[in-house]
Each structure stands twice: as C-alpha cells, then as structure tokens.
Structure 1
C-alpha cells in the first residue's frame, strides 16, 4: 500500500476536531442514557458503526472477506468485547458521575498503557515514565477522594474504563503486527455490534421522535469521529498528534458546565491537571525513546 502524504499540521487539526466530535458524542450519549437504557443506546450506536465499517471494507482490496482475514482472530474478538463493555460502563458513568468527573479520571488511560506495555508487550519503561505514571495516579486519587466518607462506588467506574481502554489499545498495537488497520476496524465494529445486540434488544423501549433525531446525531458523530481519527493517523505520526486527543477533556468540561449544569470541584481541577501533565509527559517521552530507537 502507498503511504498517504504526511502533513503534521493537518494531522493535528484532524485530531483536535476528532476530540471535539468525540466530546459531542459523549454529551449526546449522556443525554440519551439519562432517558433510555444504556445498552439500547450503545446498541443503536454500534449498529451504525458496524455498517460504516462494512462500507469502508467493501471498498478495500479483497472486499469484506479479505478485510476479515486476521492472524489474531481470538485477540480481535477480545478487543471488540473489551471495547463494548468499556463503552457501556463509561456511558453509565456519565449518568452517575457527570461528564467532567468521568473524563477527568478516564484521561489517565495513556498512563495505564505505559504501565502495562512492559508486561504485555515487552516494552521498556524507564524511571522517568514510571515517575510520570506515579504523579498521574496521585491526580486520580485526588479526583476520586477514596478516603472521604461520601466516596461513591460509582467513582471507580471511569478508572475501570480507563484500564479496559488501555487493554484495548495494547491489544490493538499487538494485532497491528500482523493485521491491517482496516481489519482491526472491521472486527471492532462487527464484534461489538453482535455482542451488544442481544442485551440491547432485551431492554428495548419506545423512543420519541425527537430522541430519534438525537440517536441519528449520535450515530453520525460516531462515524465522523472515527473516520477523522483514521485520516489523522494516515497523514501524521501517532506520537505527533496523540497529545491533542487530550483536548477532549477541555471540550467535555465546557459542555458539562454549559449544557448539563455540572460544576468544577477544586479536587477535580487539581487532579485533572496532574493527570493531563503526566499523560503529556508520558506521550512525549515515548516519542523520544521511539526516535532514539530509529536512529
């Protein structure tokens, strides 16, 4: 395959736009999950995701059948199952905790990826990145405040989701050794859609005409965000644009404050700042190490 022309500026713009659309998608999910069962909402979203993945695959060499051929079918299955469970739990966290608090914890997933990349992928993690991981998790503890009497068990949900998304990301990196991006994308859409359909249909409930419009917007933002993300990684190196994915927390905070009446508690601001700083340092350090390895 011919590599697309590289344009880091365009990649940064696409990743920033992707972060904004992901934030809008989460806001719509928060609204719909407050009115309908989470499983039904996620099911409809992934029906459209799977349809989009099939449409993309049909245009590739070998078509859908060719894109489905994988060297790691069991790992691809695991990726899809982990992702769909993670998304269901994260949407539930939006309802129980709010968008801002949930994302303030979830943004720690790059730190978890760094911590687990050693035992799972055999990558070396130096003391600098371990220090950043430690600082980041101090930030998570500041956000969650586990020692307080009012600590809610729901507060553990976004941290669990961050761990699951980190596992999903690590498995994605592992299968990339033998499978094309299109193959992983198609497996993700199909496995997640099939897995959620049974539970989602069980909790089906009538949807108002207005909320069908919101459902359509949810599906549209899901397709748009994933397509822009694919394009971003096509035109720029992952290490150059990944930090801009953290802008999603900024967009989420603005949306939570203006549309959902959420507040910015001091512990969330302090903790989120520590987590984001640690995540940015970890991403930067990984990029430095990768470049040294190439030289």
Structure 2
C-alpha cells in the first residue's frame, strides 16, 4: 500500500515521540541505579558514536559553516545542555506523565517566543489559546501561591519549566540556522555538549558500579534516543509540518501508559484536566499556524 507523504510523516512523528518517551522511561529507571551525570555521560558516548558515523557517511564534516551559524549552533548547544540537565533532573524525581505533559506546552511557548523575538504574526485567537494553555500548565504544576501548601509543588516542577524555556530557545535558534547546515552537524554538537555536561558533572559525584540491569537500561536509552533522532528528521522531511506536528502529542499517551505499567503512576484529575487543556490549545495553535501559512501563500492578510 502506497502512503502519502503526510501519512508517512505522521507515522515517523509518532515513532519519534514514542522512541523519545521510551528513552525517558529508561533514563528514569536508572535513577535508582546510577547518578544523573554518570548516566548522561554513558548514554551520550553511544549516541555520539552513532551520530559521528552517520555524519561521516553523509560527508557532513566537509560542509563549511558561516560564522553566524557557528554562533547559533553554539548557543543552541548551550541551551541543549541546560535543557538536558533540568529535564533529566525532573524526570528522576517526578512522574513521567507529569513531566511529559508540561513539555506539551512547547508549541505554545515557541509560538509566543516567535512573535516576541522574531516578529512572527500571531493573531488574538492564538494569543488567547496560549494563555488558556498556560492555565492548563498551572493545573499540572499547582504552585503554592495558587493552590496553597501541600499542593505537591517542588523545585523539580520549576526544573521542568526551565527545560521548556531552554527548549524554546533551542528551537528559535534552529529556525535561524541556515538550511545549508546539515542536521547531523547540529545534532552532533548538541550530543557533544550533553556529554560534556555528564563528564564535568560526574567529577562531582562518586561513580557507581554499572550492574547488568543498568547496562540494559543504558542500552535501551541509547537505542531509543537514536531512533527518536532518526524518526524526527524523517518526519520533518516527509510531510507538511502543519500536518505532521500535531502527532507529537503521541508522547503524552505513551508516557501515561509507561507511567502506569513501569512505575505504577497515574495522574490525578487536575493533572489530567491540565494535560487536556495544554494538548487542546496546542492543537488549536498548530491549526491556526497552518491556516495562517495557507493565507500567506495565497497572498491574503494573516488574521
């Protein structure tokens, strides 16, 4: 059966989000086995080896990169390092579904940041959707100043928000990098940055013996994160971004299933309500972006 480009792109996106979430589950399973930085370092070594081989096969290392793109790649790598630290730290201490649900606010934050910093057109409907989406995030986080003491809020809740901010900056940098720069170059720089974080951080923590169980979780994390990279690149090159992007919410469904069966976790009603609001507003925002792009293509004024 022949599949359309959009259908293939959607399947690749679903595969990418599933792989990344499985990687998260493997890393979370390591929280009781290995220190954070040791786990990051060991996983990064495997990821860098694979990406370097793929980049070499593709002739990526022969590509000349402008000074501007070098600076953007450097900035993107710095925020990638920060995002990895904040995200994995939160993942080690919070339910996987809660962390994943908050990350679903990314389409909202990227749209808002694009309007503020890049001057991209955003109508009042999308702005309202962003505000409602942030209200959904507050339901998941439940900060004490809104819900009182004992709401379950912790410093790791702030870490997830910081990870969202870092990933938003990362995506804005990616938008500004020239299309002539190979994706493998950008991915390799990020992987080296995260490995450096693990290497430096591991000096401050005593290393733990790597058991057979730890090796299995590390192998799983490495395998799935590499699969996530491959599928995500394929998704972006197979179909229209406006059609493919909504399928990124597959990660929340996978996180709910993994949280229940691997960790015995299930979100409460407020978290589920907040997650639903974030997903609904994200889907609406992506729909409006696709509609705006069509209107601009036809020479009509965005609204």
For normalisation by structure 1, the TM-score amounts to: 0.91
In the alignment of these two chains, the number of paired residues is: 290
Aligned to 1:142: 139
CA shift in 2, pair 1:74/1:226, >3 Å: same
In the TM superposition, 1:58-207 aligns within 5 A as 58-61=56-59, 63-66=60-63, 71-146=68-143, 147=146, 148-150=148-150, 151-176=153-178, 179-203=181-205, 204-207=207-210
Report the Cα offset of residue 68 of structure 1.
6.1
Question: For residues 219 and 252 of structure 1, what CA distance do their matches in structure 2 show?
Answer: 18
Contact 1:68 1:183 in 2 (8 A): no
Deviation at 1:53, TM superposition (A): 2.0
Structure 1 stretches lacking a partner, 5+ long: none
Q: Please give the alpha-carbon distance, in whole angstroms, between the structure 2 residues aligned to 1:197 and 1:64.
A: 24
Deviations 1:67-111 (A, max 9, x none): 766642122112112112212221211222210111121211111
TM-score, normalised by the number of residues in structure 2: 0.89
Q: Classify 1:115/1:262 alpha carbon distance in 2 versus 1 (closer, same or farther; 3 Å).
A: same
Alignment correspondent of 1:20: 18
2:199 aligned with 1:217: no
Is the 2:246–2:286 Cα contact (8 Å) retained in structure 1? yes
CA distance in 2, matches of 1:217, 1:14: 19
1:177 deviates by 5.0
Q: What is the aligned partner in structure 2 of residue 245 from structure 1?
A: 248
Which structure 2 residue ranges, 5 or more long, are not aligned? 299-303
